[in-house]
Amino acid sequence: MEFIVPMGTVSISGRVISNTKVSISDKYVFVMGIGPDGTYEERLLEVGSNDVAVLISGSIDYLRKLLDLLDNLLVEVVVNRCEC
């Protein structure tokens, strides 16, 4: 399973990437976006790496908000399905 999350602007190894999408799987975090020179960039990072720790810790409030929204959506789907 993997989640794709829009992240806005992030910094990976000191390189600022904007319009970023992050694909999170059980082993890797795949970062896609636009680099400072305007070109498309990709970074494949291992989940346990320092870059991923910095990325997640810098965005933890945003990610928690997204997970809360997903949790609420799942609860609504289950509740509505059971009422049918």
Q: What is the pTM assigned to this prediction?
A: 0.75
Per-residue pLDDT of 48-64, as tens digits, reads 999 999 988 888 898 88
What residues does 18 pair with on adjacent strands? 34
The pLDDT of residue 84 is above 70: no
Long-range contacts of 28-33 (CB under 8 A, 24+ apart): 29/55, 31/7, 31/55, 33/7
Per-residue pLDDT of 2-48, as tens digits, reads 788 899 899 988 899 999 999 989 899 999 999 999 999 999 999 99
Query: Residue 2 and residue 67: Cα distance in Å, rounded?
Result: 14
